[in-house]
Structure 1
Amino acid sequence: MKFTRPSAVRASLVAIAGLAALTTGCTAPAARSVSTTAQPQRWPWSDPALPAAERAERALSAMTRDEKLTLIFGYFPSRGNEAPDDPVAAGGRPGSAGYVPGIARLGIPAQWQTNAGLGVGSVGGATQLMERTALPSGLAQAASWDLGLSYAGGAMIADEARRSGFNILLAGGINLVRDPRGGRNFEYASEDPLLSGVLVGEQIRGVQSQSVLSTIKHYAINAQESGREIVSSNIAKGAARMSDLLAFQIAIERGQPGAVMCAYNRFNGTPSCENAWLLTDVLRRDWGYRGFVLSDWGAVHSTVQSIAAGLDQQSAHSFDRAPFFGAPLRAALASGQLPEAALDTMVRRILTAMFATGLFDRPVAVEPATIDFAAHAEVSRVAAERGAVLLTNDGLLPIAPATKRILMIGGHADRAVLSGGGSSRVFPIGGNAVPNLEPRGWPGPVIYFPSSPLAELRRAMPSATIRYLDGSDPAAAVAAARESDIVIVVATQWATESRDVPLALDGDQDALIAAVASANPRTAVVLQTGGPILMPWQGKVAAILEAWYPGTSGGQAIARLLTGAANPSGRLPISFPASVAQLPRPALDVPPERDGKQLPFDVDYREGAAVGYRWFEATGAKPLFAFGHGLSYTRFAFDRLDLRVAQGTVTARVTVRNTGARAGVAVPQLYAGPVSGGWEAPRRLAGWTTVALAPGQSRTVTITVDPRLLAMADDDGKWRIAAGGYRFQLAASAGAAPAQERIVTLAARELPARR
């Protein structure tokens, strides 16, 4: 990988909002470049025209050992338990996730770190809460399958980060959804390495276009929350390279994040943050990564061993058992146990990333009054609309304009929309619309954004009588449903970091939906969930709209989708299982206990690279809703599939037509697999594009296949395409019948280690 200096600065917020509204193809937007005022050139490394690596080398040569040690040791300014004379007291931002002091003598800026990938967050217990814009959940954003929206979202939250005084965004969550019950799945993108890698890479590229350094996390196989700090994620190395690690690799190639965050879990028995195979052999040797590695908060277990493995920075040291990169590191240097060159390497990586992403040349400032919240709310709204997935529809949606009596039930829809919990939470502008829900402490509080689907629907349909019931009295809900033309049940599931969740709605909502739908079959269910759920009532309702956690403007987005002002165009980035029995591990692995203490344990990912839809196809199980599924208020046709092979790369051309009466966005998906078998599953997603079409319009689009999607990787990282026939299928989803199919013959080929 090669670091390139991002284009100078941010675009106007109106332009970012326009990008989100208009981008529908899968060609990512180029980073914008506008003039900026650089810092005065006081030092030999101040010239922004110099390569980042050369600037880093010059700065490093001027540093004392104490100054070097400053850059590799992080603080948690919001915990409040640091010593009064600690530099964190003077330099940290209130409510922030982390802080690394700068070196004023040399013009090296501090590292002000903030959570996370959905918006600028305030940590729990912070005395000053930052009210900021929230994007929809990571799954919602990925459900758009749209590169431009991912880039725009990243640029938007980075703009708010830098205007809040932060120059490092702890974004880039890319762990594959290996288990649909994972508590942090809502932060991530998908179950597929290509889809995840491309979309998260674009979000990172958007973040860093604003000269804010982005992380990518959590490296690697951090696939569940249960026992996350003591679990060993065990998987064959080749299978890891073709699944979870491939997602990281693609995103790093595309987004060039300044930092990689190593995870809590052990990988094949060794803690991720002291795992030389992950941090050195794969990340740096095989992928050529030149940024730095920082730990997750509380994921460091050693000094010399971690540094030898490739860890460069201990984050928020007070979360760990000891300040491993503090006094113990000084002692290791003094004794010769650790050479000075190792410290130089760590600092060199950090400085290179800081120079490459613009932290020196575009210093941040605390100026939240300059944030264009209105434009950002539009970015969030468009993302929510484009990511919502219409799962079923018997013609009930969109709501007919002449409808007179509408009943909306549940989900606090009279006030707000739900968001996920943990470190990614964003405190909304105007405050929490539904305060004091449990848990109030970590990983809460439960936060609802003050964007009411009920109020927005009333605004959109002023001639209709729209009644609301909170759902606490099922008998009253059933009686009201019988008297209504249409019923809309807003159903919720709260998911959060630090715990996994069942595949179910919270409380007794399943029974409520079944009862209401029995009273009035013209019932639509709007889901706000952290991921897949089981739906025992599916056959009783007329429509299901998965809105995920829809963010700051979620109420408006839901109302526009229900009325047809916006056409649902989301496609599932994850499979929805029909039962837990279909999963690789029907019973979630949890840590054993002895004398009230949790013990280290293993999770064996025997499915290897057969994650999600690949697992379903390998086992022949039929999910409730397939990966890539999503309906529209219009119809599309795919034809004229043409495949070309040039220099070993397959390119597909296909014509997409809108055969319906509404404008909409099609997502043609290309799946591929060897005719003779031999992979972990019959097929893999080989590519896709998104196409916006007016009624009757057609376009011919091109999909280029990454050769790694046609290859097998071994433990040592060699990718080989086997000679033979490969079947390519064009389809609307992994579960849909192919619209077109072609077979091409490929020669045997070993792929280069790096792209």
Structure 2
Amino acid sequence: MLKLFLTMAVSAATLAAATSTFAQPEPPDARAKAIVDQMTPDEQLIMVKGSFGWFSKSGDAVIAAGWVPGIKRLGLPSLRESDAGMGVANLMGKRTGDVATSLPSGLAVAATWDPDIAYRGGAMIGSEARAKTFNVLLAGGVNLVRDARNGRNFEYAGEDPLLSGVMAGQAIKGVQSNHILSTVKHFVVNDQETGRNVLSSRIDEASLRESDLLAFELAIEIGQPASVMCAYNRINGVYACENDFLLNKVLKGDWAYKGWVMSDWGSVHSAALAANSGLDHQSGYTLDKKPWFGAPLKDALAGGSVSRNRIHDMNFRIVRSFYATGLMDNPVPITPQAIDYASNAKVSQEAAEAGIVVLKNKGNILPLVLGARKVAVIGGHADVGVLSGGGSSQVRPVGGPALEIVPKGAAAAFARITYFPSSPLKALEKRYPSSQFTFNNGDDVAVATALAKDTDLVIVFANQWATESEDLVNMNLPDNQDALIEALAAANKKVVVVLQTSGPVAMPWLDKVAGVVEAWYPGSNGGEAIARVLAGDVDAAGRLPVTFPTAATQLPRPEIPGLIEKKNSKGEISYGLDYGLKAFDVDYNIEGANVGYRWFEHQKLKPLFPFGYGLSYTRFTYSGLSLDPSNSLQVNFTVKNAGKRPGIATPQIYASVPGRDGVRVKRLVGWQRVTLKPGETRSLTVRIDPRLLANFDVANQRWKVAAGAYHLVLGKSSADSSATTTVQLSELSIAP
């Protein structure tokens, strides 16, 4: 009997293996073609247009960013789309009761320099989206930080194409590991919010290819997003969603991108022109002047200005992505599923801890050693929670906001200054039970200063709120916070400033305080993350993904182009609404491809803090930078923890590349992130993508690595040089 059972088991296993071998699903292309070939002409117009989810009335629509009806006859699901810069966002959550876990800001995640953290964060929010019945996340922000005052910087991954592309690509990959769809956005050079609907980003092709486009190219290669979202703005006079060069030539031609192009909500201006220029789907048509991909597109088909083949291709790209991501084989449940918010908050907390950057640590004031000391915690609503960024990416936190402030005169639903319920003060009190903590809100400088004089240590929380659709008017901390910090520093020599900001800020008080910590927008469990870094429970591991200028005068455009007082007829700030601005240009040819630290290097400017900078609670030494004998594009080096604590090092490799203007350009070409015990030494390797050493040859439409000497620098930041070497390269030409 046992022999018979074993025989049957083996036979069943063999049969299953054989069945698996012969029943493998066809490639996404073939499966999508088979479906699209069955569509009627009317059905082919269904999936190329979606409504704003708030206004959808269909039985399977949810109140969120967007909804696209499915085609039940062919088994094609409806698309339920949610904004998802940091988590599953729902601006109507207050009404519906929906909540979600929020990752730290995009810049905070980028500050980890850890692709695995980016992937796990994406996987976490993708799992929540799936559990909430969403199958499309409008995630993957990869616009470069060209201006420190951009209102959406907190959604993005920094100023460098390699860092941004890798981190965003891994986050997209994580989202889609749940068999749902992710976008990458906003394509392209959507690098300021002021006048985003009317401005034209002026930039030459070579500079564009070497900067913003390269970031998108890398993110798409790594993440394979189902969709690319074209932006609001124009590029060299042509709207992004009508830009044949960018959508057809570069994206679908040079990069052979097989997914579909969706519009941003309210960024479509035509039917035939947009469709023929490469736009596959009009998203949120209720925010456009017309449902362009409805009756106008049908008329264009009838009149012959858009071909039936083009409509077929639009649908093929959409349906193919259903198969490529596994959505068709793993349908999203139609009823909400349980979510382990506590576990997901730990994912967010780990990212926040890894991305918090210690910028100054005079006298090793950090990590905090308190004992029975009196500590003043001042400002930033640190008694109740941590700050988050505003706009379409706003997550409504589990438990509801600790505090929500409506800016005076705010005219749009997403202009809410929201604090997540994770108090840094309470986390510190729990960690230091012997210390006496006193909180003061900082509104009255005299009262706060008197408290500072009577304490052993002052921790001041300084906040800068930013939101989509509104750029920051300057780089200063708002609401008199700079004056507050100056006064506190005059009253007490032991002042630690914790910044919760969208991005870089000016620090006129820097020389007068003992410590500065950049916590960004730290997300769910952000208060606990801040406390753990301050206490040294974890190493200070974050490294800047953006350069911190001393002031806006160091930026390529000291004044934000088009910036005016954005008020409606009642004198109210009109966040995200029609500013009444006329079309204007933003000249990105000023810096071209030299974004961020490259600009500072090129202009010989010294920033407040350089790209890649961040202090640790231990000490690292870098040495032994050498080329691999078998591969001139692979470098080896050694890192040692020379301190007394375990810590996380992020050695960075920069190359000095001959620029198109004859001046050498510094570029990040690779990095490693490694955890080391005290005294531990590790040999590491970085492989260099040749595109990072190349200039784009517009005439021949190729990447070209010029023959000659290339200097490689190993350092702790873009301004550091711990070891150097030189490689001689032969000329190399690479197809885009």
TM-score (norm: length of structure 2): 0.93
* 1:662 counterpart residue number: 645
Give, in whole Å, the separation in 2 of the partners of 1:747 and 1:145: 31
> After superposition, where does 1:269-308 map in structure 2 within 5 Å?
269-308=237-276
Q: Of 38, 43, 52, which aligns to 1:62?
A: 38
Cα deviation digits, residues 461-519 of structure 1 (max 9, x gap): 11111111111111111111111111000000000100101212121110001101110
Contact residue 568 and residue 633 of structure 1 kept, 8 A:
yes
1:370, distance to aligned residue in structure 2 (A): 1.4
SS of alignment partner, residue 152 of structure 1: helix
* 2:424 counterpart residue number: 453
Mind listing any 5+ residue stretches in structure 2 that lack a counterpart? 1-18, 570-578
Q: Quick check: 1:495 aligned with 2:466?
A: yes
Q: Quick check: 1:410 aligned with 2:410?
A: no
Determine what percentage of the aligned residue pairs are the same residue.
48
Q: Amino acid of the residue matched to residue 606 of structure 2?
A: K
Q: Quick check: 1:437 aligned with 2:392?
A: no
* 1:639 counterpart residue number: 623
Q: Quick check: 1:751 aligned with 2:734?
A: yes
Give, in whole Å, the separation in 2 of the partners of 1:709 and 1:545: 31
1:591, distance to aligned residue in structure 2 (A): 6.0
Q: Amino acid of the residue matched to residue 254 of structure 2?
A: D
SS of alignment partner, residue 408 of structure 1: strand
Contact residue 504 and residue 547 of structure 2 kept, 8 A:
yes
CA distance 1:329–1:579, change in 2 (3 Å) = same
SS of alignment partner, residue 52 of structure 2: coil
Q: Of 130, 136, 139, which aligns to 1:162?
A: 130
SS of alignment partner, residue 561 of structure 2: coil
Cα deviation digits, residues 372-423 of structure 1 (max 9, x gap): 1111010000000000000000111111142511110011000000000000
Give, in whole Å, the separation in 2 of the partners of 1:525 and 1:487: 8
1:442, distance to aligned residue in structure 2 (A): 3.4
Contact residue 180 and residue 327 of structure 2 kept, 8 A:
yes
Contact residue 675 and residue 727 of structure 1 kept, 8 A:
no
Q: Of 525, 532, 546, which aligns to 1:553?
A: 525
Cα deviation digits, residues 345-365 of structure 1 (max 9, x gap): 100000111110111111112
Give, in whole Å, the separation in 1 of the partners of 2:336 and 2:475: 39
SS of alignment partner, residue 56 of structure 1: helix
RMSD: 1.9
Give, in whole Å, the separation in 2 of the partners of 1:638 and 1:468: 42
CA distance 1:523–1:433, change in 2 (3 Å) = same
Mind listing any 5+ residue stretches in structure 1 that lack a counterpart? 1-40, 42-46, 83-87
Q: Quick check: 1:176 aligned with 2:152?
A: no
Q: Amino acid of the residue matched to residue 490 of structure 2?
A: S
1:117, distance to aligned residue in structure 2 (A): 2.3
Give, in whole Å, the separation in 2 of the partners of 1:381 and 1:53: 40
Give, in whole Å, the separation in 2 of the partners of 1:729 and 1:287: 30
Contact residue 233 and residue 604 of structure 1 kept, 8 A:
yes
* 2:504 counterpart residue number: 532
Contact residue 411 and residue 492 of structure 1 kept, 8 A:
yes
> After superposition, where does 1:201-280 map in structure 2 within 5 Å?
201-280=169-248
CA distance 1:680–1:91, change in 2 (3 Å) = farther
Cα deviation digits, residues 73-108 of structure 1 (max 9, x gap): 101121x3x6xxxxx4323112x1001011111110
* 2:367 counterpart residue number: 398
Give, in whole Å, the separation in 2 of the partners of 1:311 and 1:151: 28
Contact residue 91 and residue 414 of structure 2 kept, 8 A:
no
CA distance 1:357–1:676, change in 2 (3 Å) = closer
Q: Of 717, 722, 732, which aligns to 1:733?
A: 717
SS of alignment partner, residue 730 of structure 1: strand
Q: Quick check: 1:564 aligned with 2:536?
A: yes
Cα deviation digits, residues 246-267 of structure 1 (max 9, x gap): 0000111111101000000000
Give, in whole Å, the separation in 1 of the partners of 2:322 and 2:403: 40
Give, in whole Å, the separation in 2 of the partners of 1:233 and 1:173: 18
Give, in whole Å, the separation in 1 of the partners of 2:302 and 2:629: 59
* 2:16 counterpart residue number: none
Cα deviation digits, residues 427-479 of structure 1 (max 9, x gap): 01111111243256433211110000000000111111111111111111111
Give, in whole Å, the separation in 1 of the partners of 2:499 and 2:277: 44
SS of alignment partner, residue 351 of structure 1: helix
Cα deviation digits, residues 656-701 of structure 1 (max 9, x gap): 1111111111000001014798566531111101011111111111
CA distance 1:652–1:144, change in 2 (3 Å) = same
Contact residue 109 and residue 359 of structure 1 kept, 8 A:
no
Contact residue 93 and residue 396 of structure 2 kept, 8 A:
no
Q: Amino acid of the residue matched to residue 588 of structure 2?
A: Y
Contact residue 162 and residue 366 of structure 1 kept, 8 A:
no
Contact residue 236 and residue 715 of structure 1 kept, 8 A:
no
CA distance 1:423–1:676, change in 2 (3 Å) = closer
SS of alignment partner, residue 49 of structure 1: coil
> After superposition, where does 1:14-29 map in structure 2 within 5 Å?
none
Q: Of 665, 668, 671, which aligns to 1:682?
A: 665
Q: Amino acid of the residue matched to residue 732 of structure 1?
A: K
* 2:681 counterpart residue number: 698
Contact residue 591 and residue 601 of structure 1 kept, 8 A:
no
SS of alignment partner, residue 517 of structure 1: helix
CA distance 1:469–1:75, change in 2 (3 Å) = same
* 2:48 counterpart residue number: 72
SS of alignment partner, residue 297 of structure 2: helix
CA distance 1:730–1:362, change in 2 (3 Å) = same
Contact residue 175 and residue 220 of structure 1 kept, 8 A:
yes
Q: Of 50, 55, 63, which aligns to 2:26?
A: 50
Q: Amino acid of the residue matched to residue 739 of structure 1?
A: S
Give, in whole Å, the separation in 2 of the partners of 1:417 and 1:409: 13
> After superposition, where does 1:184-195 map in structure 2 within 5 Å?
184-195=152-163
Range with bigger deviation, 501-510 or 163-172: 501-510
Give, in whole Å, the separation in 2 of the partners of 1:473 and 1:682: 48
Give, in whole Å, the separation in 2 of the partners of 1:48 and 1:69: 31
Q: Which runs of 4+ in 1 moved over 4 A?
A: 366-369, 591-596, 675-681
Give, in whole Å, the separation in 1 of the partners of 2:528 and 2:564: 45
SS of alignment partner, residue 201 of structure 2: strand
Give, in whole Å, the separation in 2 of the partners of 1:284 and 1:700: 40
Q: Of 128, 134, 142, which aligns to 2:96?
A: 128
Contact residue 615 and residue 681 of structure 1 kept, 8 A:
no
Contact residue 130 and residue 332 of structure 2 kept, 8 A:
yes
* 2:10 counterpart residue number: none
Q: Quick check: 1:652 aligned with 2:628?
A: no
Q: Of 439, 442, 447, which aligns to 1:468?
A: 439
SS of alignment partner, residue 505 of structure 2: coil
* 1:357 counterpart residue number: 325
Q: Amino acid of the residue matched to residue 540 of structure 2?
A: P
> After superposition, where does 1:79-94 map in structure 2 within 5 Å?
80=55, 88-94=57-63
Contact residue 392 and residue 631 of structure 1 kept, 8 A:
yes
1:597, distance to aligned residue in structure 2 (A): 3.2
1:126, distance to aligned residue in structure 2 (A): 6.9
Q: Of 711, 719, 722, which aligns to 2:706?
A: 722
SS of alignment partner, residue 447 of structure 1: strand
Q: Quick check: 1:628 aligned with 2:604?
A: no
Contact residue 593 and residue 599 of structure 1 kept, 8 A:
no
Range with bigger deviation, 265-274 or 353-362: 353-362
Give, in whole Å, the separation in 1 of the partners of 2:659 and 2:506: 35
1:125, distance to aligned residue in structure 2 (A): 8.1
* 1:710 counterpart residue number: 693
CA distance 1:679–1:204, change in 2 (3 Å) = farther
Q: Quick check: 1:379 aligned with 2:355?
A: no
Q: Quick check: 1:578 aligned with 2:578?
A: no
* 1:108 counterpart residue number: 76
Q: Quick check: 1:313 aligned with 2:281?
A: yes
